A = this chain, B = another copy of it.
């Protein structure tokens, strides 16, 4: 941040692209008004303009016919760590206008402290799993449609093979074929049993994504069952639900990117490194799953590396969070990804374990490869 900036204000960088005849300065000013007073300049008193309207701090060409505008907002507009209003201020109404992408944030320290960020973070998840110096391994229990017994058996096998974190598939909610309460008990029991047999420290993270009233109940049940963390899809339940899950500080939070793709467009939306790398982190995600390049989805390598960097970068007093590349990572190629992304990464391996008949052995082989590759 340039030294002359008012660090008590929230600074937001927008990449603006202009249609024919559109003036970038007018467009930047329009964002500053639309996101705050939502009235034309001549309908607002000078006192309210000074207090509420965003300030266009800088505007510069950004190549490709685009402009980079930094607009600062009074942090008081957000209220006391009010996450829905934060989202509204950052991109609410302007989501309905063309050619605007949120590409960067600079946070007032006080706002970061109110939001709280990860309670475990990278070090905390390393302590929970006992994996001190190597990447963590994660696998998903699936598919939806299996009864609880079969899901628990998969948990047992992954834990027997030493997978660090075994999480519910994000589509397992509270379906009749495998109700949440029964599933969390049986799956946690299966992982504990495997740990007892192997001396391992695998963890089971159930998916607590659900209706507004059910979500805290599911988290409580996970807690009482002995789970040390949970999976949640922030964009399905509202970002503030993540802050609520993280706040007590006794459950680690892994965030799933379901629905995130609607934000990721050329010249529109919220950049993946901001949404997954920064907003998911500030509300309390200890680990953030994202669709890795070269898998089934469409993010570029540069975008994936930007997400990793955002999750790990210094950010006020907030802890760094684990990037969790996923979505078609081949177990055989994990060493390459370690070289590329570094050890402070959690790899979520799905299909390429399931494609092998013996899940415990497939998991164990993968863990051996990772250990050998990292001398850990």
Q: Which residues of A contact B (CB under 8 A)?
A: 34-40, 42-44, 47-48, 51-53, 76-77, 79-85, 87-89, 91-98, 140, 142-146, 169-171, 173-177, 209-214, 233, 236-238, 240-241, 243-244, 257-265, 268-270, 291, 296-299, 327, 350-351, 354-355
Contacts of A79 in B (CB 8 A): 173-176, 210
Q: Could you show 27 A-B contacts with beta carbons less than 8 Å apart?
A: A36-B144, A37-B143, A38-B143, A38-B350, A39-B142, A39-B354, A48-B143, A51-B145, A51-B177, A77-B171, A79-B210, A81-B211, A82-B211, A83-B211, A84-B210, A84-B211, A85-B174, A88-B209, A92-B170, A95-B262, A97-B296, A97-B298, A211-B244, A212-B241, A213-B244, A262-B265, A265-B265
How long is the Cα–Cα vector from A102 to B87 in the complex, in angstroms? 24
Among B240, B296, B297, B354, point to the contact of A212 (Cβ < 8 A).
B240
Contacts of A298 in B (CB 8 A): 96-98
Given A48-B146, A238-B241, A265-B265: A84 touches B209 (CB 8 Å cut-off): yes
Give the oligomeric copy count. Answer: 2
Contacts of A44 in B (CB 8 A): 143
In the complex, the answer to whether B40 meets A173 with C-beta atoms within 8 Å is no
In the complex, the answer to whether B171 meets A38 with C-beta atoms within 8 Å is yes
In the complex, the answer to whether B88 meets A260 with C-beta atoms within 8 Å is no
A83 (CB) vs chain B CBs: closest residue = B211
In the complex, the answer to whether B43 meets A355 with C-beta atoms within 8 Å is yes
In the complex, the answer to whether A97 meets B262 with C-beta atoms within 8 Å is no
Given A52-B145, A237-B238, A351-B40: A262 touches B269 (CB 8 Å cut-off): yes
Contacts of A258 in B (CB 8 A): 87-88, 92-93, 95
For residue A202, give the distance in angstroms from its CB to the closest CB of chain B: 21
In the complex, the answer to whether B259 meets A87 with C-beta atoms within 8 Å is yes
How long is the Cα–Cα vector from A173 to B52 in the complex, in angstroms? 13
Given A39-B354, A48-B146: A92 touches B259 (CB 8 Å cut-off): yes
Contacts of A94 in B (CB 8 A): 261
Contacts beyond the supplied A52-B145, A88-B233: 8 A-B pairs with Cβ under 8 Å? A37-B142, A42-B355, A44-B143, A79-B176, A83-B211, A91-B259, A92-B233, A212-B212
Contacts of A212 in B (CB 8 A): 212, 238, 240-241, 243-244
How long is the Cα–Cα vector from A170 to B81 in the complex, in angstroms? 17
How long is the Cα–Cα vector from A244 to B85 in the complex, in angstroms? 19
Contacts of A89 in B (CB 8 A): 171
Given A209-B85, A233-B92, A262-B263: A52 touches B144 (CB 8 Å cut-off): yes
Contacts of A145 in B (CB 8 A): 36-37, 47-48, 51-53
How long is the Cα–Cα vector from A37 to B170 in the complex, in angstroms? 10
In the complex, the answer to whether A85 meets B171 with C-beta atoms within 8 Å is yes
Contacts of A210 in B (CB 8 A): 79, 82, 84-85
For residue A147, give the distance in angstroms from its CB to the closest CB of chain B: 10
Given A93-B258, A95-B258, A259-B92: A36 touches B143 (CB 8 Å cut-off): yes
In the complex, the answer to whether B91 meets A262 with C-beta atoms within 8 Å is yes
